[in-house]
Amino acid sequence: MTARAPRHRIALLALTAAPFLGPAPSRAAEIFVTNERDNTVSVIDSESYAVTRTFPVGRRPRGVVFSKDGKRLFVCASDSDSVQVIDPDDGKLLANLPSGEDPEQFALSPDGRTLFIANENNATTTVVDVETHSVKAQIDVGIEPEGMAVSPDGKTAVTTSETTNMVHWIDVATLAAIDATPVDQRPRHAEFTRDGKTLWVSSEIGGTVAVIDVATRTVRHTIRFEIKGVASDRIQPVGISLTDDGRHAFVALGPSDRVAVVDARTFEVTGYILVGRRVWHTALTPGQDRLVTTNGVSGDVTVIDVATLKAIRTVKVGRYPWGAAIRPVPPGGGVAK
Amino acid sequence: MRALIDPAGRGASGRAGRRERPRTRFPRGAVLACLLAVLGAADARAAEPVGVAYLERRIERPNPLNNEDPVPADQGLRGAELGLRDSNATGRFVGLSLALDKAVVEPGADIRAALAGLLAGPLHPRFVVVNAPAEDLLALADAPEAKDVLFLNIGAPDTRLRDADCRKRILHVAPSRAMLTDALVQLLVFKRWTRILLVAGPGAADRLYADSLRRSAKKFGARIVAETTFDARGADLRDSALREFALATRGPEHDVVAVADEAGEFGTNLVYNTESPRPVVGTQGLTPAAWGRAVEAWAAAQLQERFRKLAGRTMDPADWAGWMAVHAVGEAAVKLKSADPAAIATLMQSPAFEVGGFKGRALSFRAWNGQLRQPLFLLWPGAVVGAAPVEGFLHRSTELDTLGLDRPESACKAFGG
């Protein structure tokens, strides 16, 4: 409750300031997209929307995340059974982290030191020290773990298991699974709110998003989706992005080719944005003014303007784009060498 | 052991299951929540394992014609074993487990005695996965000693079991022939290959498959332009295929040659041996099936991988059905957080029950005949050609119900529909 007031103030400030700003200060960012079928990563410049480079990575790259300083890119190369550490500037492989079998998604602890990796094929979560490249623990979870998230205070990690249909809660201090919360069929992605009080979990086959109270580990609200002219079983929620201002949640709805816009305070679905075919995941730019989506079947990325909630661009990437991660362009461009 | 079944709980939920269901449509979640609230109270203990039995009758099969790998002797069973393993990996998070007992009888042996043996065994199973022909299934379901058992059919595709010969105690995990041929004809119609030349073998199952194809053709607007029968037992195909098949497939203009040869006595050799250059579809060539080696999408690759690790071979349709049957029992138990078999059975039979099956959609049992709604694949040995329901075949409630007997088409009365 106490956190509420300042958040409003920030939102208000942003609103009033916007008309006077003119051209925004540089919000240049680079969007990194894993192409599951091509074994590559495409890099898109957020201002020109051009693919500036494409570099090869391990086999079947899916989950992707940046180190806190944006200088290292972690890529789950699922079929190579490794998490690769890559120099985002030139695509050079810096290291292969021990990852356990078939890593699919992962999450980095807030201090940037620990990577929690969901091992889809052997029902474990592997915890890796990013600095020493050593495995700190392998934790038994449900079958086909996929979604991973770490709470903003770094104390709790969660993984979702797609066949067991649960959210497994991991105590980071003891690295033990301490509880499990059943959710709808095939939970795929988990996302904490910024205050760490709420966890959003998408269920692909259940067709829902569970809003879970972190303190009690119980489902507080279940969001359902309905799109005119689209069969309900084609609405398959996967990726979720939450804006820092607490206003919007964006939910990628798979083969319905749409992203749902949800009011993150009332949990009401306020609209659907048509994107490319079979949308998997979404990511917000550092300025939170753009949302990008990876569209697996059409092989492209849709760019959505967060202010107007409209799709403004489509960028062709490789085959089966799956994951997306975004970093601000380093000062001085940084990239062109 | 008997003490673990709560007689009061069983009676109450049993009655609830037979009660007329209101026609008003509630949101699924609400119905499920109510059910869970009612049923969950039935048994809060949940320490003893939920007993599941696997019962199979071996089938005599013809010798392989083309040096194929023999049909695995443990087809179906290994799937059920994986289902058990998966269910227990999940169940441990809520303090539940399943246990599996099995019996396999030879052709001619007494399958009812085998059932009695299983039911009297230490697990006292109330869920029996049956991999056996239709007559066996009916004999089992009608046995008085099985009055509290829910049977899960993974081996009998006979449409009559989903029609006038249905039983309240049987859920069909395997698709019916009607579903299979509907899936095939949907694809043919989508491709506008609607003129079908039908070649049927002499077996009783072949006739049923041919009947089903005719019915599906009529349902979706395809046409059987000519029909012929072929008896492979009259000739040595290795010598005579080139000429014999050309004769058998001579006929009016057609787009495909459909073959009905369930035992695999000649169909494989018909491919590329037709008089006209036409694809072969049906029991061989392009085949409709619940599962197959090439199925990869919707995380199927993960299930295939788990199965390969367990069984050392590819997952066949019967294996998938065996897995699905046990997985459905496990899923219902976990949803209820209860090991009470009566409550589990009631939930499985309720329209609110949904379960995943690596087919990209939530699966459920049809309220009018106990058939599992499911997408089917159209496969040739190398790849998945497509999946049914095929785009464009619409249904007022779910497109999945374009496959097989829809509510108005089924003569099944046992479900009160």
Q: What is the pLDDT of residues B324-359, one digit of tens each?
A: 999 999 999 998 999 999 999 999 999 999 999 999
Using the predicted structure, report yes or no on whether residue A25 has a pLDDT greater than 80. Answer: no
Q: Which of B87, B92, B302 to mutate to test the interface with A (most CBs of A within 10 A)?
A: B302
- Specify whether B94 is located in the same domain as B59: yes
The pLDDT of residue B47: 63
| Strands B127-131, B50-57: pairing kind | parallel
Using the predicted structure, report yes or no on whether residue A15 has a pLDDT greater than 50. Answer: no
Is residue B209 one of the residues assigned to a domain? Answer: yes
The pLDDT of residue A100: 84
The pLDDT of residue B298: 86
**Closest-CA residue of chain A to B363:** A205
- Specify whether B122 is located in the same domain as B209: no
Using the predicted structure, report yes or no on whether residue B46 has a pLDDT greater than 50. Answer: no
What number is the average pLDDT over the span B390-395?
91
Check if the beta carbon of residue A195 is closer than 8 Å to that of residue A3.
yes
Across the interface, of A142, A222, A236, the residue whose CB is closest to B90 is: A142
Using the predicted structure, report yes or no on whether residue A56 has a pLDDT greater than 90. Answer: yes
Is residue B336 one of the residues assigned to a domain? Answer: yes
Across the interface, whether the CB atoms of A144 and B299 are under 8 A apart is answered yes
Across the interface, of B27, B90, B302, the residue whose CB is closest to A164 is: B90
Q: For residue B299, which residues of chain A lie inside 8 Å, CB to CB?
A: 144, 162, 186
Using the predicted structure, report yes or no on whether residue B379 has a pLDDT greater than 70. Answer: yes
Q: Please state, for a pLDDT cut of 70, what percent of chain A lies above it.
A: 90
Tell whether A271 is within 8 A of chain B (Cβ): no
Q: Which of B289, B323, B343 is the last residue of a domain?
A: B289
What number is the average pLDDT over the span B179-191?
98
Across the interface, of A164, A205, A255, the residue whose CB is closest to B362 is: A205
What number is the average pLDDT over the span B242-270?
94
Using the predicted structure, report yes or no on whether residue A43 has a pLDDT greater than 60. Answer: yes
End-to-end CA distance of chain A: 48
The pLDDT of residue B44: 41
Is residue B229 one of the residues assigned to a domain? Answer: yes
Identify which has the larger pLDDT, B22 or B122: B122
- Specify whether B193 is located in the same domain as B171: no
Q: How far apart are CA A81 and CA A165, in angstroms?
A: 24
What number is the average pLDDT over the span B209-224?
98
- What's the total number of domains in chain B? 2
Across the interface, of B86, B362, B400, the residue whose CB is closest to A143 is: B86
Tokens encoding B148 = 């509290």
Identify which has the larger pLDDT, B351 or A16: B351
Is residue B36 one of the residues assigned to a domain? Answer: yes
Question: What backbone torsions phi and psi does residue B199 show, to the nearest 5 degrees?
Answer: -120, 115
- The band of A17, judged by pLDDT with boundaries at 50, 70 and 90, is very low
**Closest-CA residue of chain A to B304:** A121
Is residue B237 one of the residues assigned to a domain? Answer: yes
Tally of helices (H runs) and strands (E runs) in chain B: 12, 12
Greatest mean pLDDT range, A27-31, B37-41, B200-204: B200-204
The pLDDT of residue A104: 87
- Specify whether B93 is located in the same domain as B199: no
Q: Which residues pair with A74 in a beta bridge?
A: A65, A85
The pLDDT of residue B32: 54
Q: How far apart are CA B129 and CA B15, in angstroms?
A: 23
Neighbours of B219 (CB within 10 A): 17
Separation in Å, CA B398 to CA B212, B362, B386 = 22, 11, 19
- Specify whether B300 is located in the same domain as B199: no
- Specify whether B304 is located in the same domain as B271: no
- Specify whether B36 is located in the same domain as B116: yes
The pLDDT of residue A176: 93
- Specify whether B32 is located in the same domain as B164: yes
- Specify whether B271 is located in the same domain as B302: no
pLDDT tens digit string along B221-244?
Answer: 999 999 999 998 877 777 788 888
What number is the average pLDDT over the span B172-185?
98
Across the interface, of B89, B90, B305, the residue whose CB is closest to A121 is: B305
Domain that holds residue B80: 2-175+295-374
Average pLDDT of chain B is: 89
Greatest mean pLDDT range, A290-294, B15-19, B240-244, B334-338: A290-294
Least confident range from A280-289, A297-306, B16-25, B297-306: namely B16-25
Using the predicted structure, report yes or no on whether residue B22 has a pLDDT greater than 80. Answer: no
- The band of A101, judged by pLDDT with boundaries at 50, 70 and 90, is confident
Q: Which of B289, B310, B329 is the last residue of a domain?
A: B289
A residues 91-130 closer than 8 Å to B (CB): 120-121, 123
Q: Which residues of B touch A (CB under 8 A)?
A: 27, 29, 86, 89-90, 93-94, 299, 302, 305-306, 331, 334-335, 354-356, 360-362, 398-400
What number is the average pLDDT over the span B196-201?
98
Q: For residue A168, which residues of chain B lie inside 8 Å, CB to CB?
A: 93
Residue closest to A38 by CA, chosen among A17, A21, A62 = A62
Q: Which of B289, B315, B331 is the last residue of a domain?
A: B289
Question: What backbone torsions phi and psi does residue B167 show, to the nearest 5 degrees?
Answer: -135, 140
Strand (E) or helix (H) holding A293 = strand A290-295
Using the predicted structure, report yes or no on whether residue A144 has a pLDDT greater than 80. Answer: yes
Identify which has the larger pLDDT, B193 or B232: B193
The pLDDT of residue B341: 97
Is residue B399 one of the residues assigned to a domain? Answer: no
Strand (E) or helix (H) holding A160 = strand A156-161
| Strands B256-260, B150-153: pairing kind | unpaired
pLDDT tens digit string along A239-282?
Answer: 999 999 999 999 999 999 999 999 999 999 999 999 999 999 99
The pLDDT of residue A336: 42
- Specify whether B215 is located in the same domain as B115: no
The pLDDT of residue B112: 97
Q: How far apart are CA A13 and CA A21, in angstroms?
A: 12
- Specify whether B129 is located in the same domain as B223: no
Size of chain A in residues: 337
| Three-state DSSP class for residue A70 | coil
Using the predicted structure, report yes or no on whether residue B220 has a pLDDT greater than 60. Answer: yes
| B10 Cβ neighbours under 8 A, 6+ residues apart | B42, B148, B340, B341, B342
| Cα torsion through B84, B86, B91, B92, rounded to 10 | 110
What is the domain-level CATH number for residue B193?
3.40.50.2300
- Specify whether B257 is located in the same domain as B210: yes
